[in-house]
Amino acid sequence: MNTRIRYSLLAVLAIAVACTKDTPLAPMPGEVVASRSASVSVTDAGAGTITAMTRNLYIGADVDAVIQALLTPDPSDDFDALLQAITVVGQTVYPLRAEALADEIARSRPQVVGLQEVSEIHINIPPLGIAVNQDFLAILMAALNARGLHYALVDQSTNLVATPFPGVAVTDHDALLRDADHVSLNGPVIATIYAANLGHLADGVDLNRGYVVARLLIDGRPVTVATTHLESGNAPGLPGLRALQAQELVAVVGGDTPAILLGDFNDTTGSAMHQVVTGAGFTDTWAAMRPGARGFTCCEVADLSNQVPVLNQRIDYVFTRGLGGPNGKLLGQVTIVGDQPADKIAGPSFRIWPSDHAGLVASFLERPVTP
């Protein structure tokens, strides 16, 4: 099989993105638009607060045209699609977006941050003068350090390893960060791939979603935290694959409580995935704290140039177990970040969003245990 063009960077970008934008999910009937300012006060004497954030970083390319080019029997359009994708990656330049993402973390000060699509991109094609070398995690960590924030990598799982074309290498990770001033390890960390996966797609292209599960001490309180990125897409079999991956995740977390699951779960409420997680005793934080608010987090247009948000799917979640107050009711607040026009930043060609996803930040009030 000739893989020099057919499985070039375009194929890598096609499978590395978080979700398919050509099959958006429609709003549920009766949903209302959420206000970012709506919240419940987390101030309570003697109580502690745990804040968690989930954020998909986004590789930054328009892949729909790429996929179509790869699927046509005529390979003559593939290279043009490759060059177009590289151009879009330049327009949505990640180092600039990382500054905005670091600002979000600085404002929210989460003790734990679950990251998805933490990419390493190495594209070096000297005849065309193309050289793109970006380590998303290193760039973000440098931006956090520049703000005086002391975040440390707990661990990361590797989802995608692709070296399909000379001069092109892309690796995709999920990563879990902790505020080193307030969070320490409390046991072994598991960072691995799911047993159920798409796996080998082509020569030099392997896609295996994974997760990070860590037992932590947050301000001295034991909490198990996980981050993941389940498989994307609406093709037959993929919803079932996500449910299998969710089953493994909750099995690895086991009976730990309190526990927090962070991630891009790539499915909606009512899906088999959602039923697996909530059936294991986890609460969908957004649904519990913001009933009736739609909470869309995906997706902006691929080049991030849209003036107003076009988010139309709720697929990013913070699931919790064992963090409730009286009668198990969650106390605290959950907000969306990165979804307002004011969040856009100056790009090289136009103003851009920090990511094609918005993020979620959830704060949970823990009342002190009474004797």
pLDDT at 65: 52
pLDDT at 25: 34
Domains of the chain: 32-61+93-366 (3.60.10.10)
Q: What DSSP string runs through 278-329?
A: HHTT-EEHHHHHSTTB----B---TTS--SS----B--EEEEEES-B-GGG-
How far apart CA 33 and CA 48 sit, in angstroms, is 30
Q: Cβ distance 358 to 108 under 8 Å?
A: no
Closest listed residue to residue 113, CA positions, set 197, 180, 195, 22: 180
Phi, psi of 268 (to 5 degrees): -110, 175
Q: Cβ distance 34 to 293 under 8 Å?
A: yes
Three-state DSSP class for residue 276: helix
Q: What DSSP string runs through 66-123?
A: HHHHHHSS-GGGHHHHHHHHHHHHHHT-HHHHHHHHHHHHHHH--SEEEEEEEEEEEE
Q: Which two structure tokens, joined as six digits, stand for 171?
A: 């690796």
Three-state DSSP class for residue 325: coil
Q: How much is the mean pLDDT over the chain?
A: 84
Residue type, 119: S
| More reliable by pLDDT, 73 or 303 | 303
Closest listed residue to residue 207, CA positions, set 219, 216, 220, 194: 194
pLDDT at 274: 98
User: Tens digits of per-residue pLDDT, 113-143?
Assistant: 999 999 999 989 899 888 989 999 999 999 9
What residues form DSSP beta bridges with 155? Answer: 176
> Does 164 score more than 80 pLDDT?
no
CB neighbour list of residue 310: distance below 8 Å, 6 or more residues apart:
299, 300, 301
How far apart CA 369 and CA 371 sit, in angstroms, is 7
Closest listed residue to residue 369, CA positions, set 7, 23, 47, 35: 47
> Does 370 score more than 60 pLDDT?
no
pTM of the model: 0.86
pLDDT at 60: 80
Pairing of strands 48-56, 112-125: parallel
User: Tens digits of per-residue pLDDT, 183-195?
Assistant: 999 999 999 999 9
In terms of residues, how long is the chain? 371
The dihedral of CA 114, 286, 294, 345: what is its sign? negative
Least confident of 19-23, 202-206, 321-325: 19-23
Q: Which two structure tokens, joined as six digits, stand for 332?
A: 């605290």
Q: Which two structure tokens, joined as six digits, stand for 276?
A: 């697996």
Three-state DSSP class for residue 1: coil
Residue type, 130: I
User: Tens digits of per-residue pLDDT, 24-40?
Assistant: 333 333 333 333 333 33
Segment of 14-18, 58-62, 294-298 carrying the highest mean pLDDT: 294-298
User: Tens digits of per-residue pLDDT, 78-114?
Assistant: 667 677 777 888 899 999 999 999 999 999 999 999 9
Confidence of residue 280 (pLDDT cuts 50, 70, 90): very high
Q: How far apart are the first and last CA of the chain?
A: 69
Taking residue 187's Cβ as centre, other Cβ atoms within 10 Å add up to: 13
Confidence of residue 170 (pLDDT cuts 50, 70, 90): confident
pLDDT at 266: 96
pLDDT at 253: 98
Q: Cβ distance 206 to 162 under 8 Å?
A: yes
> Does 6 score more than 60 pLDDT?
no
* Residue indicated by tokens 């699931």: 319
Q: What percent of the chain has pLDDT over 70?
A: 80
pLDDT at 42: 39
How far apart CA 261 and CA 281 sit, in angstroms, is 12
User: Tens digits of per-residue pLDDT, 315-365?
Assistant: 999 999 999 877 778 999 999 999 999 999 999 989 999 999 999 999 999
